[in-house]
Amino acid sequence: MAFTEFCRLDERSVIEYVKGVPGLWSKLELDDDNIITVKEIGDGNLNFVFVVANSVIIKQALPYIRCIGESWPLTKDRAYFEAMALQEQGRLTPHHVPQVYHFDPTMSLIAMRYLEPPHIVLRKGLIAGIQYPLLARHMAHFMANTFFFTSLLFRSTLDHKREVAKFCGNAALCRHTQQVVFSDPYQISQYNHWTSPYLDPDAEALRQDDLLKLEIADLKSKFSERALALIHGDLHTIIDPEFAFYGPMGFDMGAFLGNLILAFYAQDGLVHQPNHSKAYKEWILQTIEDTWNLFYDKFIALWDEHRNGAGEAYLPAIYNNPEVQLLAQKRYMTDLFHDSLGFGAAKMIRRIVGVAHVEDFESITDAVKRATCERKALNLAKMLLKDRRKFEGIAEIVSAIRQF
Ligand code: ADP
Ligand code: SR1
Ligand code: MG
Ligand code: MG
């Protein structure tokens, strides 16, 4: 088979495919018998993921959403944007991003480095109660680097616009996010679901809350109209950036913090499992605080270091004294903080009443317990969406999380 036209791969044809791409063959770590093992390990919502010879990942996008089926089409061009994003993020933060070996636009397929065990996706690690002492540092570093170096703080207007244009074509994925994050949770949708009947009144209350609707409209507009930096677009762990585009940095920061907050509230439903304890909840809260603080310091350090570079956002001739520089940075970071809280809250809400939920809550088998945990997260998220501008620092957010 020449694979000159798009076709869906399976565990057999993947081997044939890999054999036909010399650069890939050489990446396989084969034993003496040259036997190639293949396993489809995709557990995400959208795509098919094969691990070949325990050394190479083949990720293929089909023209629909895997977890729903062909009734919900989604362009397979998403693989192109994922490959571009991985390459750009890998250039900026090579230690935290899997290397792309090969991209095939016809087959909508990416071959990349297999992150072998003991690596597991973060969500599974959080459910298992594993502490990652470097998580906050690595995520802060990844976000500070990709945001700063792809923003107008670092780039000239011409460079920035050229890069923005490269990702404009990922419009279908942006539209998808608009629907599932900013629209569906606030209206009746065939795709919405929640822990019923316990959360029926909570879901109804979202659809009746005019203040919440005003806030979500603000965030939807920022998501759709502010091309600040290259963002991951679906950030929990660093793999899987098929939603990448130039958008608001707070969308990624919020997604990451929001996911940690969901993990925090899921703990009470998981207490019967080993490793789940008060200490684990404290570690999650500390990670939330550290992520923001380390990100803040790193981002400002990059800004200071490149203050007199090509970036056209704050021209040195205008922001020419320490006082005005400090004020500009303070305002920028405060806006980013409030955006992050709003987007984080929106992400939390969609994961409780929207189409795609999180394993953290889904793995709580007792529906009453699950609903209790979810309601706490939902109430915190509603408060954050409405009152986010009142918060001045991440320590206040941690206190608020404890109170709900
Ligand atoms: P989707 O877009 O469908 O969510 P993901 O990129 O999240 O797909 O991949 C689904 C799963 O495949 C991940 O949860 C992870 O277990 C596995 N996976 C994906 N990429 C890699 C990789 N580079 N190394 C190891 N495992 C991977
Ligand atoms: C049907 S919604 C599927 C979701 O999974 C992806 O990871 C994105 O978050 C998307 O919204
Ligand atoms: Mg995924
Ligand atoms: Mg994905």
**60 and 206 assigned to the same domain:** no
Beta-strand pair 38-40/48-52: antiparallel
pLDDT of residue 95: 94
**Domain end position, chosen among 88, 113, 138:** 113
Q: How far is the CA of 232 from the centre of ligand 1 (A)?
A: 15
pLDDT above 90 (res 31)? no
Q: Judge whether 303 lies within some domain.
A: yes
Q: Domain check: are 66 and 132 in the same one?
A: no
Give me the pLDDT at residue 139, please. 98
Q: Which two tokens stand for residue 19?
A: 């054999």
The CA–CA distances, whole Å, from 305 to 59, 142, 179, 332 equal 38, 17, 39, 17
**Has residue 5 been placed in a domain?**
no
Q: Domain range spanning residue 132?
A: 122-403
CB contact set of 92 (below 8 Å; sequence gap of 6+): 145, 146, 149, 150
Using CA positions, which residue lies closest to atom 2 of ligand 2?
Answer: 356
Q: How many domains does the chain have?
A: 2
User: To test the ligand 2 pocket, which listed residue (191, 234, 362) has its Cβ within 8 A of the most ligand atoms?
Assistant: 234
**3-state secondary structure at position 299:** helix
Environment of ion ligand 3 (residues, CB < 5 A): 44, 240
Whether 6 maps to a domain, the answer reads no
The answer to whether position 84 is within a domain reads yes
The answer to whether residues 395 and 327 belong to one domain is yes
What is the average pLDDT value for the chain, to the nearest integer?
96
Whether 101 contacts 27, CB under 8 Å:
yes
Q: In angstroms, what is the span from residue 33 Cα to ligand 2's centroid?
A: 40
**Smallest-distance ligand from the CA of 86:** 1
Q: Is 4 contained in some domain? A: no
Shared domain check, 183 and 94: no
Residues of the chain with pLDDT > 90: what percent?
94
Instruction: Identify whether residues 47 and 146 lie together within a single domain.
Output: no
> Residue 64 sits in a domain of what CATH number?
3.30.200.20
Summarize pLDDT for 305-360 with one digit per residue, the tens: 999 999 999 999 999 999 999 999 999 999 999 999 999 999 999 999 999 999 99
Instruction: Find, among 38, 22, 346, 303, the residue nearest to 153 by Cα.
Output: 303
pLDDT for residue 30: 87
CB 82 near ligand 2, within 6 Å:
no
Query: What is the mean predicted confidence (pLDDT) over 11-40?
Result: 92
Other beta carbons within 10 angstroms of residue 173's beta carbon come to 23
CATH of the domain at 156: 3.90.1200.10
User: Which of 89, 113, 137 is at the close of a domain?
Assistant: 113
Q: Is residue 276 part of a domain?
A: yes
Asked if residue 172 and residue 91 are part of one domain, the reply reads no
Q: Is 219 exposed, middle or buried (0-12, 13-18, 19+ CB in 10 A)?
A: buried
95 shares its domain with 164 = no
Are residues 100 and 128 located together in one domain of the fold? no
> What's the pLDDT tens digit per position in 70-128?
999 999 999 999 999 999 999 999 999 999 999 999 999 999 999 999 999 999 999 99
| DSSP string for residues in 222-244 | HHHH---EEE-SS-SSSS--TT-
Which of 90, 113, 136 is the last residue before a domain boundary?
113
For residues 85 and 154, membership in a common domain is answered with no
Question: Does 187 lie in the same domain as 131?
Answer: yes
CB of residue 239 inside a 6 A radius of ligand 1 = yes
- CA 387 / ligand 3 centre spacing (Å): 30
What long-range pairs does 280-283 form, CB within 8 A, spacing at least 24?
Answer: 280/129, 280/131, 283/131
Does residue 1 fall inside a structural domain? no
25, 99: one domain: yes
Taking the C-alpha atoms of residue 254 and residue 350, their distance in angstroms, rounded to an integer, is 13
For ligand 2, whether the C-beta of 121 sits within 6 Å is no
Ligand 1 atom nearest to CA at 113 = 23
pLDDT tens column, 111-122? 999 999 999 999
Token duo for residue 387: 């009152």
CB 113 within 8 A of CB 56: yes
- Are 299 and 188 contained in the same domain? yes
The answer to the question of residue 288 being in a domain is: yes
| pLDDT over 80 at 32, yes or no | no
